Structure formats: C-alpha cells, structure tokens
Amino acid sequence: MVTNHTEHGRAVSFSASGTPSSFRSVRGLGLVIVAAATAVTGLRAVELVLTWQLSTRLQEWEADGYGGTEDSVQQWVAAVGAITWIAMCLQMLTGLLFIAWVYRARRNAELLCSARHRLPGVWAIVGFLPVVNWVIPPILVDDIQRASDPATPRNAMRLPPSSTTGYVVAWWFSFVLAATLYFLAYLLSIGVRRGLEDSAGSADAGLLVHCTGLILLTTAAGLLTVLLTRIGRWQAARAEHLAADPEPEPAAVSPAAAPSAPGVRPVPQLAPGGGLGLVAAVLSCTVVAGPALIAIASPHYQTVRDAPTGTAEYEAAMDAWAPLTLLGILAWGFTMTLAGVLFLCWLWRARINAEHLDPSAHTLRRGWTIGSWFLPLGNLVLPALVVGDVHRAGRAPVAGDAASTSYSPLVAFWWLSWLTTWIWTWLALLLQQPILWWATTAFFALTAALLVPVIRQIDGGQQAAADQPYPVRQATTS
C-alpha cells in the first residue's frame, strides 16, 4: 500500500489495485436507488389506477341506490390502502439508501478534490432532518457533483459552477412539488379511500392532483437517475486518475487571489449569484398571487358561514368561495416554497462571498444564514442581521463616512415590512375579513418590492468586487 498526501496535507492511501483505499464506489448503491425509485414510481401509478377504479365503483354504487355489494367496495378500499402502504415503505427505504449514498459520495468528493464544500460534512446526515430537508439536500448533491466533475481541478480553492447544477435544481423542485401534491391528493381523496359514498365527488380533483404528482415524481426519478449515474462514473474516473497521478499540480494563482498591497484584502474566487438572485427576486413577486385570490373569494365566506347548510344560497356561496380559496392556498404555498428555497440558496452563496469581502462584518456564524429562519422567536430578528451583514460587507467604507459601514435602512424597511406582513396574515386567518386579506396582499407586494433592490444591491456590490483584481478595501486603524 502506498501513501501520498494532497496539497492540504490529507493522507491518501492507495490499494494494490491503484485506487485510493478509502475510496468506495457509489455506482452500485446508485443503481439500487434508481431501481427502488423506479419501483416507487410504478407503485404510485398502480395506486392512481386503483384509486380511480375505487372512485368509479363508489359512484356506480351510489347511482344504483347502494344496490351493489358493499364487500366489493371494501375490497377496493383494502387494495388501495395496501398499495399506498407498500409505496410509502419503499419510498422511506429509498430515502435511507439515498442518505447513505450522499454520505459516501461526499467522502469520496472530499478525497478526490480539495475544494471546500459549502456545508460541513455532518450535514450529509443532519441535512435530512425535518424542516432543513427542504433546503439542504440539493446543496449537498450540487457540491458533490461539482467536486466530482472532471472539469474541476483537484486542487481548486472553491467549487466552480457546473452545467449539471440545472439538473439538481430541476430534480429537487420536481420531487418537493410531487410530495406536496401527493399530500394534497391524499386529503382530497381521503373520503373515497375510506369508502364514504358522499365523498366520491371530491375524488375527481384528487385524481387530477395525483396524476400531476405522478408526472413530477417520474420526472424527479429520471433526473435522479442521470445525477447518480453521472456522479458515480465521474468519481470512479477521478479515483483512477488520482492513483495514476497522486500529487496534484500546484494551484494556479488567480488575480483575485494574488497578494495585495498592505491594507488591501484580496477576494479569492468570488462567485456572485446574480442569476440566482434575479430569479429569487422575480419569484418573490409571485407570492402576491395566492393572498390576492383568497382576498377576491373572501366576501363569499360570510354567506357560507351564515346561510343554512344545503340551501341554494349556501351552495352558490360555497361554489364561489371554495374553489378560488383552494387555488389561492395552493398558489400561495407553491410560490412561497419556491421563492423561499431559491432565496436561501442565493443568500448562502452571497454570505460566502461576503465573508471574503469583509470577515469582520458578520455578527453571526455562517450556519445561521439558514438556521436563523427556523428558530422560533429568533427568526424575528436574526435573519435581518444576516442579510444586513451581507449587505454592508459589499460596500467599501468611505474615509470619514461612518454611515457606509452601518446597516442599510433599506434592509430595515424590508424586514419591518416582512414582519408586518405576517401580522396581517395571522389576523386575516383568524378573522376572515376581506379588508384584512387585501391588506395582507398589499404588504406581500410591498415586501417583495423592497426585497428586489436589496438583492440587486448585494449582487451588484459583489459583482463589482469580483471584477476588480485587487478590491479596494481601506485598512482599519484602531
């Protein structure tokens, strides 16, 4: 066995076959995950067909005046429940296998490329816990595929962008949206699944949502197959190359990483997220659509609440209120999730860039960039500090101007608007008054309007710093 070292001093042992002894191929595990994901997709398709058949049988049973055999309906109920249970168990097993794959692939990536990942290694496990698993897994997979990409130098300081990132984003959004739609489909068809004859009508909407979820789940499974296959092949090829040439070439010093004059801090390999920030800003404006639809439907809620059940007035008000409100809730949840995930991805990248620009400007550690949004009570203040620090880190201090190093009033107004928006939201949910829903819509619009210049200023400052070989940064004197 031969032992060599990487440029950062990490020991790498090579087996008799020529590959690093600590390297463990993920290709076999990836194939197992692909097979399991395919099986889950097939079971979900069978579940859709059985649910449709159950709904049809139930409607025929109602039309015949319940003259059919109830046992046959119960058999279909049992069949749908069994397939759903098997699909959920297999999906959980697939998830556990995927966590093992991420952990092993992450260790391989750290061995094959010295570039630092955006998250510590512990996140390969912790990142799949509830709440954080909405954001962390795509970051982990994207870093793994960037480090495994043959185009990434083994001695790179930071992981460069990769063309495969688009696959990661599309895979994750397809999967998350599919999971959300499956949950909604289950709620819509829960009556039919239990054999309740008066719930057959709601199953039509559930079947449509279920079908859409199946299409997205199939898309996610196909993209996951591409990612796992490509990353496994890349890592195997890089391991063989590392065995053939264990000592990497010296890293080329980029102009941004070159030594600078006294009092000037170099900014190594900044990667401004202008495109991602622009998308996050645009999507933040779409969040207004959900509350606006609910506000339009809200005047009919009073009639629904006051009119006797079963009357023509009640049915007319329900038809005017329920579909539009449901559509608003779906649009609200979808746009909030999509905009929120992209905003956090952009904020994480902007925070890394801001640390290179001015490490002393940050009140909180990097982990709080994500964690601050999920800490009860703390999320009333901490996210504003994170964004404020990132914003002011991109502004070079002007001699004699103390305001240039202070927090931006724009960030403060944006955060106050964000907090006010949720106060109005809770009041609207509690009191169900049209004026409150319109106020909520207006504050969502105001918050989005303030967020757009915040993102543009941060991206603009970081892009300007990245374009300068030696960013101007005044030396601080005590």
**Tens of pLDDT, residues 311-366:** 777 778 777 788 888 888 888 888 888 888 888 888 888 888 888 877 777 888 88
Sign (positive/negative) of CA torsion 146, 150, 156, 160? negative
220 and 311 within one domain:
no
Percent with pLDDT over 70 in the chain: 78
Is the pTM higher than 0.85?
no
202 and 77 within one domain:
yes
200 pLDDT above the threshold of 60: no
Alpha carbon of residue 173 to chain centroid:
7
pLDDT at 96: 92
CA distance 23 to 75: 51
Q: Which residue has the higher pLDDT, 226 or 266?
A: 226
Window from 249-258, 330-339, 387-396 with minimum mean pLDDT: 249-258
Window from 2-16, 52-66, 84-98, 228-242 with minimum mean pLDDT: 2-16
337 and 432 within one domain:
yes
pLDDT at 10: 44
Q: Which residue has the higher pLDDT, 73 or 180?
A: 180
| pLDDT bucket at 426, cuts 50 / 70 / 90 | very high
145 and 103 within one domain:
yes
64 lies in some domain: yes
Q: Measure Cα distances from 271 to 148, 158, 256, 350 in Å.
A: 19, 9, 11, 8
pLDDT at 134: 82
pLDDT at 414: 92
Sign (positive/negative) of CA torsion 396, 400, 406, 408? negative
| pLDDT bucket at 49, cuts 50 / 70 / 90 | confident
Q: Which residue has the higher pLDDT, 478 or 120?
A: 120
| pLDDT bucket at 21, cuts 50 / 70 / 90 | low
Q: Which residue has the higher pLDDT, 44 or 408?
A: 44
69 pLDDT above the threshold of 80: no
474 lies in some domain: no
pLDDT at 9: 39
423 and 358 within one domain:
yes
pLDDT at 323: 82
Which whole number is the average pLDDT over 86-112?
Answer: 91
Q: Measure Cα distances from 16 to 1, 6, 26, 70 in Å.
A: 6, 19, 20, 68
446 pLDDT above the threshold of 90: yes
Write out the residue range of the structural domain in which residue 207 sits. 23-236+249-255
287 and 208 within one domain:
no
95 pLDDT above the threshold of 50: yes
310 and 206 within one domain:
no
The answer to whether residues 354 and 395 touch, using CB atoms and an 8 Å cutoff, is no
197 and 51 within one domain:
yes
pLDDT at 71: 61
419 and 300 within one domain:
yes
pLDDT at 252: 43
Q: What average pLDDT does the structure give for the chain?
A: 78
pLDDT at 100: 92
Window from 24-33, 93-102, 353-362, 399-408 with minimum mean pLDDT: 399-408
Q: Which residue has the higher pLDDT, 477 or 174?
A: 174
Amino acid 207 reads L
Q: Which residue has the higher pLDDT, 121 or 386?
A: 386
Domain endpoint, select from 255, 286, 314: 255
pLDDT at 206: 78
Q: Burial code of 436-471, b = ≥16 C-beta within 10 A, e = fewer? A: bbbbbbbbbbbbbebbbebbebbbebbbebbeeeeb
Sign (positive/negative) of CA torsion 421, 422, 425, 426? negative
Window from 187-196, 274-283, 349-358, 369-378 with minimum mean pLDDT: 187-196
Residue 133, SS3 per DSSP: helix
13 lies in some domain: no
Domain endpoint, select from 255, 283, 314: 255
pLDDT at 468: 64
Q: Measure Cα distances from 404 to 203, 373, 394 in Å.
A: 59, 27, 10
165 and 72 within one domain:
yes
189 pLDDT above the threshold of 80: no
Number of domains in the chain: 2
Amino acid 325 reads T
- CB count within 10 Å of CB 76 equals 20
370 pLDDT above the threshold of 50: yes
| pLDDT bucket at 476, cuts 50 / 70 / 90 | very low
429 and 294 within one domain:
yes
CA distance 97 to 343: 29
